[in-house]
Amino acid sequence: MTEFKYLRLKPHIVQKIWGGQKLKTMRPTEEGLENPIGETWEVSRLEEGPTETGLGSLHSLCSEKELPYLVKFIDTNDNLSIQVHPDNDYALKNENSSGKTECWIILDSAPGAGIYLGFKKGVTKEKFQKSVESGEDVNNLLNFYETKKGDFFMVPAGAIHAIGKGVTLVEIQQSSGITYRVWDWNRLDSAGNSRELHIKKAMDVCCFDEEFNTRETFKMQRDILSRSGTTLIASHEDFNVWISNGGWDSSKIETKGRCPSIVSLGSAVNLGELEIGSWDSCLFKTLPGMLESNKPILVVN
């Protein structure tokens, strides 16, 4: 792999009909993007959407071991499909891929907006499948959590979920593009066609255990962007997520052979020889010793 000390990153932009306008206004984007932007993949080595650098794409510059995670911004102007992701074992056997556990940090939320996450008590596999097959409003079987800026949610593989409209967030996930859509709000496109669903696989991987579908499993936290100092928000075998407000000591962080990244959450980040612009990202071989910013910084390793 190509040697580097750090790489400034140019995100992969995903235009979606359900996207909003905020990701266009957070920082300059390419000219001619007429459709709403649903996602920007800030740190990605996935072949279908690699982040670009001055030396080439991260797909060619970093191995899967060095970069087993993906960071993206998401902005919604409509509800996303109700979906689920497989764990490592199922994904390897059926998709030749890693599984997909992810987590969300809410950056903005319209009044009354929120996310759907986990089944309500009493929802069985049989009840859920019957609802899906009959075209009922499947969202009524899921927990809905109204969101506010600074909220955090862990979304483990097997957790049914959907991001509701009016939400802007940063997502940190395993480096996988595997998504099983189970319901899409009975929407049709201009030609009268519905989106492809993956009901069989979704039913295989959904977890209906009541103890799983709880706030404790989803590690829900509030107001994490206002905490002072450096806080470990989430820990997974493929990524650790830190929020830093103020002093930062990288000597306490074990990278485990992964390339760490720093993502600005609203202001420039001063690293001495390097400055990361507002909402920009940078990938490192090793974490820099000191960070300075007057707004929270996302650090992933």
Which residue, 173, 235, 237, 181, is CA-closest to 205? Answer: 181
161 forms beta bridges with 83, 117
CA distances from 213 to 81, 89, 124, 143 (A): 19, 21, 12, 9
How many Å apart are CA 194 and CA 185, to the nearest integer? 10
Q: Work out the angle at residue 64's Cα, subtended by the Cα atoms of residues 59 and 68, and round it to the nearest 5 degrees.
A: 105
Q: Active-site residue 187, yes or no?
A: no
Give residue 117's Cα distance to chain centre.
14
Q: Which of 181, 187, 215, 222 is catalytic?
A: 181
Query: In the chain, helix, strand, coil percent, each to 5?
Result: 15, 35, 50
Buried b (16+ CB within 10 A) or exposed e, 40-50: bbbbbbbeebb
Give the side-chain half-sphere CA count within 13 A for 3.
0
Which residue, 61, 42, 55, is CA-closest to 298? Answer: 42
CA dihedral 289, 292, 295, 299 (to 10 degrees): -10
Residues annotated as part of the active site: 181
